[in-house]
């Protein structure tokens, strides 16, 4: 994606209730092409919030934004489209909240200012301050407690403030990401399971989708896999076809899950494929009962390392817990 076509794609929530909850997937031109979260880009997106808020009686929530292509996201969520850039939010919120969206600090500040104004009006404008000193102290103490809570609001709390029913989903998605080298997966257990059994898992994917998949690393931009999971920039995934915006594939998370849930006929076929491939390598002298021989290993290291080795190179030291808070 060159500088001339770089777009900031923002996700703007209009929430009334569970049945009437919509998200606008819009775009504006990237001002700063070097830094996604630069003040210039944040200001550009914040202006879109102001423009959309005009004439809307409900406060809109700026979930965040990323470098991307508007037409890609409209296509991905086309079955949930309401009109134009507006989509039903409930069916796709788990995907949107799992994207690595840049926050808009000014949107959080505006939200805090509105809340602070509301509690000031409640305590000191719409209601009479108690006349007795002891009661006034309790009154002021209650106000200051609420004020401090508002001032400590995080961006995650801001984007999950509209609906109690999806706070648990948001917390689970947002907090349970964590970094592993240049990629980022929900936990290292997924990587360990894949690394220990990648040959079998790959053949399960090939059997299910009737393709010869390749494990690639998503170099740029996040995409959605065929089962609705987010493949983040920098993450390895099973590429089934295409590249860039046309890439189609399965995330490592879903690949591991599919291999665990596969029925007996699929697993038997996958094992047969694995055995067939190993016999062909034995005939070529590239595979022994102990695995790849020295010649094969040297070739892999020099030309194209196995996925398992690439992942090992990229992994940071593993924490003791499989989950980590951002």
Task: Please write the tens of the pLDDT for every residue from 85-107.
Answer: 999 998 898 888 888 889 999 99
Cα 99–Cα 166–Cα 236 angle in degrees, nearest 5: 25
Residue 193: exposed, middle, or buried by beta-carbon count in 10 A (0-12, 13-18, 19+)? middle
Helices 133-151, 105-124: crossing angle, 10 deg rounding: 170
Q: Kindly tell me the sign of the dihedral angle through the C-alpha atoms of 162, 163, 164, 169.
A: negative
Please check whether residue 285 lies inside any domain of the structure: yes
**57, 82, 104 - which closes a domain:** 104
State whether 187 and 258 are in the same domain.
Answer: yes
Cα pseudo-dihedral 83, 88, 92, 93, rounded to 10: 120
pLDDT of residue 22: 92
C-alpha span between 169 and 147 (Å, rounded) = 27
Low pLDDT (below 50) residues in the chain: 1-3, 165-184, 289-326
State whether 225 and 308 are in the same domain.
Answer: yes
pLDDT of residue 163: 57
pLDDT of residue 187: 54
Task: Name the domain count of the chain.
Answer: 3
Please check whether residue 115 lies inside any domain of the structure: yes
State whether 282 and 197 are in the same domain.
Answer: yes
Please check whether residue 150 lies inside any domain of the structure: yes
State whether 67 and 159 are in the same domain.
Answer: no
C-alpha span between 216 and 218 (Å, rounded) = 6
**175, 210, 228 - which closes a domain:** 175
| Nearest CA-CA partner of 259 in 163, 194, 213, 187 | 194
Backbone Cα Rg of the chain? 25
State whether 224 and 303 are in the same domain.
Answer: yes
Q: What is the pTM of this model?
A: 0.72
42-78: b (≥16 Cβ within 10 Å) or e: bebbbebbeebbeeeeeebbbbbbbbbbbebbbebbe
State whether 36 and 158 are in the same domain.
Answer: no
Please check whether residue 63 lies inside any domain of the structure: yes
Residue 200: exposed, middle, or buried by beta-carbon count in 10 A (0-12, 13-18, 19+)? middle
Q: Kindly tell me the sign of the dihedral angle through the C-alpha atoms of 277, 283, 285, 287.
A: positive
Please check whether residue 325 lies inside any domain of the structure: no
C-alpha span between 310 and 184 (Å, rounded) = 14
**46, 77, 104 - which closes a domain:** 104
Are the beta carbons of 295 and 305 closer than 8 angstroms?
Answer: no
Q: Which residues contact 298 (CB under 8 A, 6 or more apart)?
A: none
State whether 197 and 300 are in the same domain.
Answer: yes
Domain encompassing residue 139: 108-175
C-alpha span between 232 and 98 (Å, rounded) = 9
Please check whether residue 326 lies inside any domain of the structure: no
State whether 167 and 187 are in the same domain.
Answer: no
State whether 247 and 226 are in the same domain.
Answer: yes
State whether 98 and 45 are in the same domain.
Answer: yes
Please check whether residue 320 lies inside any domain of the structure: no
State whether 307 and 187 are in the same domain.
Answer: yes
Distance of CA 169 to the CA centre of its chain: 13
Residue with the two structure tokens 């979260």: 37
C-alpha span between 219 and 125 (Å, rounded) = 55
pLDDT of residue 83: 93
State whether 132 and 205 are in the same domain.
Answer: no
Task: Please write the tens of the pLDDT for every residue from 194-214.
Answer: 888 888 899 999 999 988 888
228 sits in the region (left: phi over 0; alpha: psi -120 to 50; else beta) called: left
Please check whether residue 198 lies inside any domain of the structure: yes
DSSP H helical segments within 79-132, as ranges?
93-96, 105-124
C-alpha span between 163 and 278 (Å, rounded) = 53
pLDDT of residue 214: 87
């Amino acid at each position: 994606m060159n500088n001339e076509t770089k777009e900031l794609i923002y996700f703007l929530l209009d929430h009334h209730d569970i049945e009437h909850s919509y998200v606008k997937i819009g775009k504006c031109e990237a001002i700063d092409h070097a830094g996604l979260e630069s003040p210039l880009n944040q200001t550009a997106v914040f202006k879109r919030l102001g423009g959309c808020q005009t004439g809307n009686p409900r406060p809109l929530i700026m979930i965040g934004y990323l470098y991307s292509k508007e037409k890609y996201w409209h296509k991905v969520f086309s079955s949930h489209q309401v009109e134009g850039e507006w989509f039903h939010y409930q069916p796709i919120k788990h995907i949107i909240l799992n994207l690595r969206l840049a926050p808009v600090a000014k949107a959080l500040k505006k939200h805090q200012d509105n809340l602070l104004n509301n509690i000031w009006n409640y305590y000191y404008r719409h209601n009479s301050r108690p006349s007795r000193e002891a009661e006034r102290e309790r009154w002021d103490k209650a106000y200051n407690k609420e004020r401090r809570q508002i001032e400590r609001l995080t961006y995650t709390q801001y984007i999950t403030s509209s609906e109690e029913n999806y706070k648990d989903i948001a917390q689970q998605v947002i907090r349970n990401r964590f970094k592993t080298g240049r990629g980022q997966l929900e936990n290292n257990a997924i990587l360990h399971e894949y690394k220990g059994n990648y040959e079998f898992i790959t053949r399960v994917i090939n059997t299910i989708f009737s393709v010869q998949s390749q494990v690639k690393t998503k170099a740029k931009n996040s995409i959605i896999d065929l089962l609705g999971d987010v493949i983040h920039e920098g993450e390895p995934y099973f590429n089934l076809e295409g590249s860039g915006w046309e890439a189609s594939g399965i995330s490592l998370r879903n690949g591991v899950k599919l291999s665990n849930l596969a029925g007996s006929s699929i697993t038997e076929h996958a094992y047969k494929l694995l055995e067939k491939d190993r016999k062909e390598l034995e005939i070529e002298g590239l595979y022994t009962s102990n695995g790849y021989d020295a010649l094969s290993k040297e070739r892999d290291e020099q030309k194209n390392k196995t996925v398992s080795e690439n992942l090992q190179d990229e992994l940071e030291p593993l924490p003791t817990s499989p989950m980590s808070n951002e």
